[in-house]
Structure 1
Amino acid sequence: MLRIAVQSKGRLYDETMLLLAEAGIKLNRGKRILLLSAKGFPVELLFLRDDDIPQSVANGVADVGIVGENEYVEKGAEAKVVKRLGFSKCRLALAIPKNEVYHGVEWFEGKTIATSYPEILKDYLKKKGVNAGLHVISGSVEIAPGIGLADAIFDIVSSGSTLISNRLKEVEVVLNCEALLIANKALTEEKQAILDELLFRFEAIQTAEGKKYVLLNAPKNKLDEIIEILPGMKSPTITPLADEEWVSVQSVIAESHFWEIIGRLKALGAQGILVIPIEKMII
């Protein structure tokens, strides 16, 4: 049984549960909300505060964990990063009052900065040669300048709307963050095998992101040009049709270039274009 530590609530919780569901991890819901086992797959979920996850994985209370990079770096726990998961993206940034004139990081010299991430901030300021005071608080960091607790803040920024509502502006990005899959450094062979299977499922999901499966009928005399547009994962699948002058073509395209590619295919005479979403992709 592989024990996975996950955040007990919040945006990271929601996206983690979605990933696990897509990977076929179905939970046995019950009265115990701290620890839940899965159906049909040898894992159980341990629900913790996000800042407790790195140490819990490092000391073996959990075997692996899904945690924000901000908490992983701040805690400095001896757990290894197994995979960057690509969701819950944000950044740790310095922000100052909107009406302040900012010319560089030297602005923070002698100032007081409110933060929930003192270790990351100390390391950054040391590298920049800036001496500043730190006011460590948890939660609602953004209100500190407005009530006179600090001159600036160092906190998580996603959309930036919270900064705007508190009349602050972002001036320095210190760390770009995303969800990480971390693991204890001393997993047994049995637990490593379960983790490898879980990674296989995660990678199949991630590979499919932003991809579309395309089927179309194409004139044979334009096939070479169409193949150049639709390379597929290795090469498109070509199937003969009853009409010897036409073939069926199947391939995968990136959604970001979808309309551009479809337009070029139509210009080359492609017909009956069918586009299908992809849930998983194994390569």
Structure 2
Amino acid sequence: MSTETLKIAVQKSGRLFEESLKILKDCGISIDNGRDQLKVRARNFPLEIMYLRNGDIPQYLKDGVADIGIIGENLLVEKGGDLEILQKLGFSKCRVSLAVPKGTEFKGLSDLEGKKIATSYPNTVNEFLEENGITADLHMISGSVEIAPNIGLADAIVDIVSSGSTLFKNNLKEVHTLIKSEAVLAGSPVMGDAQRLLVQKLLFRLESVLQAREARYVLLNAPNEKIDAIIKVLPGMRSPTVLPLAEQGWSSLHTVIQKEKFWEIIDELKSLGAEGILVCPIEKMVL
């Protein structure tokens, strides 16, 4: 195998699988295979995709079997040690949280002293307890952690939480967040120089895709006498493009803004005379 191939580990099943392949494809990388093979080469980029169990990816990175990997930040904290985060990817956002039965009064972290805590994240929880000077009895569970309080195995749990619906169904309430997490691209500490150059090329593509996901292309029409006022409220990239319309005294303004900013300024734009406002998604954005 060529030494100029970049090996990336992705989850072979689970919540990160689909989004991991999607972001690679959005980077222009053609992948023919899905879940059927454990290893496949991309057709148009020197990338080899390895489909692995999620919990195995950190060790593959440490050992240099994989050069980079897409994993949850929570798993990186639990098993990754000093593995480097090369890029946060913005999907599969969740948190590792402490939860207790709904009927339990919880005044603060000191209530955990001497209690039994069930979790799939023992390293994360132990570090958290040490930082807060708490002594508790940890029960390691690899499966359905949320049932532990219901069967008398634990007084509280620490587990991954997305919507909170699983906690609700098991009569639990979330009382404290230990860490916030999202999918990240992590790098191997023993990656070769040739692979690091390829990583830089991939990161350039990823950054272009991620920037585009958070931005929107905005077009609007406005009377010429209102253009200066409208430009002042547009939180866009440098100066917007202004083009004259066929109708005398009117122009079209084109700009890029962060998608969450649009709704903050829409009413102000309309009050300043903006009409025909069009908001479009952006596929790629290179700054």
TM-score interval, smaller chain: over 0.9
User: What is the alpha-carbon distance in structure 1 between the residues aligned to residue 149 and residue 264 of structure 2?
Assistant: 48
Q: Is contact 2:119–2:139 with CA below 8 Å preserved after alignment?
A: yes
1:275 equivalent in structure 2: 279
Q: SS of the residue aligned with 2:150?
A: coil
**RMSD between aligned residues:** 1.9
User: Which segment is superposed worse, 160-169 or 105-114?
Assistant: 105-114
Matches within 5 A, 1:239-278: 239-242=243-246, 245-278=249-282
User: Which segment is superposed worse, 12-21 or 242-251?
Assistant: 242-251
- Aligned length in residues: 283
Q: Is contact 2:244–2:250 with CA below 8 Å preserved after alignment?
A: yes
Which deviations, in whole Å up to 9, do the C-alpha atoms of 1:38-76 show, x marking residues without a partner? Answer: 121111111111111111111100000011111111114
User: What is the alpha-carbon distance in structure 2 between the residues aligned to residue 235 and residue 255 of structure 1?
Assistant: 17
User: What is the alpha-carbon distance in structure 2 between the residues aligned to residue 212 and residue 238 of structure 1?
Assistant: 17
User: What is the alpha-carbon distance in structure 2 between the residues aligned to residue 152 and residue 259 of structure 1?
Assistant: 40
- 1:105 maps onto 2:102 in alignment: no
1:33 equivalent in structure 2: 37
Q: SS of the residue aligned with 2:105?
A: coil
Which deviations, in whole Å up to 9, do the C-alpha atoms of 1:107-149 show, x marking residues without a partner? Answer: 2222111111111111111121211111111010111111122
User: Which segment is superposed worse, 130-139 or 205-214?
Assistant: 205-214
Letter in 1 for 2:119: T
User: What is the alpha-carbon distance in structure 1 between the residues aligned to residue 110 and residue 14 of structure 2?
Assistant: 35
Change in CA separation of 1:245 and 1:30 when aligned onto 2, cut-off 3 Å: closer
By how many angstroms is 1:224 displaced?
A: 0.7
2:213 equivalent in structure 1: 209
Which blocks of at least 5 consecutive residues in structure 2 are unaligned? none
Change in CA separation of 1:129 and 1:265 when aligned onto 2, cut-off 3 Å: closer
User: What is the alpha-carbon distance in structure 1 between the residues aligned to residue 260 and residue 281 of structure 2?
Assistant: 13
User: Which segment is superposed worse, 162-171 or 268-277?
Assistant: 268-277
TM-score, structure 2 as length reference: 0.92
User: What is the alpha-carbon distance in structure 2 between the residues aligned to residue 61 and residue 30 of structure 1?
Assistant: 21
Letter in 2 for 1:162: T
User: What is the alpha-carbon distance in structure 1 between the residues aligned to residue 277 and residue 105 of structure 2?
Assistant: 55
User: What is the alpha-carbon distance in structure 2 between the residues aligned to residue 125 and residue 8 of structure 1?
Assistant: 32
Q: SS of the residue aligned with 2:16?
A: helix
Matches within 5 A, 1:188-207: 188-207=192-211
- 1:146 maps onto 2:185 in alignment: no
Matches within 5 A, 1:1-283: 1-29=5-33, 33-242=37-246, 245-283=249-287
Which deviations, in whole Å up to 9, do the C-alpha atoms of 1:10-49 show, x marking residues without a partner? Answer: 1111221221121112213289511111121111111111
By how many angstroms is 1:185 displaced?
A: 2.2
User: What is the alpha-carbon distance in structure 1 between the residues aligned to residue 104 and residue 276 of structure 2?
Assistant: 59
User: Which segment is superposed worse, 45-54 or 236-245?
Assistant: 236-245
